[in-house]
Amino acid sequence: MKSRRYKHERKVLNKVLVVTTESLLKGKVLEKDFRTSRKGTGSTSGKRPTQLPAKAGALPLPVLQRKYLGMENLMFVYCSSKIIWTLLVTILGYASSLPVRDDSICTAEELAKYSIIFTGKWSQTAFPKQYPLYRPPAQWSSMLGVTHSSDYSMWKKNEYASNGVRDFAEKGEAWVLMKEIEEAGEKIQSVHGIFSAPAISSGTGQTSTELEVRSRHPLVSFVVRIVPSPDWFVGIDSLNLCEGDHWMEEVSVDLFPYDAGTDSGFTFSSPNFATIPQDTVTEITCSSPSHPANSFYYPKLKILPPIAQVTMVKLKKNQLGLPIPHLNQPAKSNEILDTISETPLDCEVSQWSSWGLCRGPCRKPGTKIRTRFVLLHPANNGTPCPNLDEETGCEPDNCV
């Protein structure tokens, strides 16, 4: 899409340049015709032009005619120059507004292979609020990714998700997304290859695979669904592994949750509730969506801790095709959890109930009670729960 827009704007710019060139040529022709017509005016009749008697102190008429012709030529040149400068300023302003290509020219060796390691950091310690423990517990879908050029985009923040990304983010179904990728590769040759990695059966763990990039297709994009969730996922959009004349040796990126904009659920276990009209892809933060019911709503935090991380390591030629050990296994606590700071979770309680009946002996002060209950228990040194019942004095209605 970006490439077609880029080519269209270049065509428009070329048209402007053609118009400018034609204007310049036309100006020269007009100037030539102007001079020719002036010469013709004095010679076609074969007679000398009528000369009026000169006043005392006035310049002779031939001198005045030459001065008049010189001034008219000067005005013509001035007007032509003004038009030319206006066109040039327009061209320069338009050219400066043209989009810059995302991928600079890659002059590295034609082919490079990488191992890509996805590490889930979705633990109850880091994300204690509404952490899914069963039916289903916290886990990650399989990874689906692609290596491509800047002419293709799998997904992009603040833009609408495709039908394929919608199906993957909501249900983990990859068929439509794979068809979109294959069609893009066939039509505009923007896709080099597809890669995938196995699912992770818990919130913390690792999975891996290998991918191949080329100098014409140096960008990497992928998505992994957060399970369970309405339409939430993590991923990378168009990461360039090429730096001029060489490939990056290693790169690690912290991953944060995104909302595909196709389902309006607030919590991990929300029922299906389609967003109509569809919204754009947005990043989920500790304060957005700003609703206390949201599973990622942590008002005391400035930013969410990363929910996952991806690392890509360039493989040497003697490493190509070799398996990567100790992957696709749940992570040990000293590998991942120790690197995650605890996210405090404050206690949340319900509203007070109505006051109960006033009870007590006749002609003596009585008491009445109201209660509330815990909605969310505190965790990781969060604010403890307040009292759950309250008592106050009253005059008994039915004394005993």
Share of the chain above pLDDT 70, in %: 67
- How much is the average pLDDT of 279-298? 93
Query: Which CATH architecture best describes the domain 111-339?
Result: Sandwich (2.60)
Q: Which of 72-76, 153-157, 384-388 has the lowest mean pLDDT?
A: 72-76
Pair of tokens at residue 303: 């930013």
The pLDDT tens digits for 218-259 are 999 999 999 999 999 999 999 999 999 999 999 999 999 999
DSSP designation for 325: T
Specify the pLDDT at position 196: 96
Among the listed residues 176, 179, 222, 178, the one whose alpha carbon sits nearest the alpha carbon of residue 197:
222
Q: Flag whether pLDDT at 34 surpasses 60.
A: no
- How much is the average pLDDT of 71-94? 55
Specify the pLDDT at position 31: 44
Specify the pLDDT at position 304: 95
Q: Which of 263-267, 360-364, 389-393 has the lowest mean pLDDT?
A: 360-364
Please report which confidence band the pLDDT of residue 358 belongs to, taking 50, 70 and 90 as the band edges.
confident
The pLDDT tens digits for 6-28 are 445 555 455 544 444 455 445 44
Specify the pLDDT at position 54: 47
Residue type, 45: S
Among the listed residues 247, 190, 196, 188, the one whose alpha carbon sits nearest the alpha carbon of residue 222:
196
Is the pTM value of this prediction over 0.75?
Answer: no
Q: Which residues contact 69 (CB under 8 A, 6 or more apart)?
A: 38
The pLDDT tens digits for 124-159 are 999 999 999 988 999 999 999 999 999 999 999 999
- How much is the average pLDDT of 27-50? 46
Q: Flag whether pLDDT at 181 surpasses 50.
A: yes
- How much is the average pLDDT of 150-170? 97
Share of the chain above pLDDT 90, in %: 48
How buried is 227 (Cβ within 10 angstroms: 0-12 exposed, 13-18 middle, 19+ buried)?
Answer: buried
Q: Is the dihedral of CA 280, 282, 288, 293 positive or negative?
A: positive
User: For all residues of the chain together, what is the average pLDDT?
Assistant: 78
CATH for 348-394 is 2.20.100
Specify the pLDDT at position 352: 87
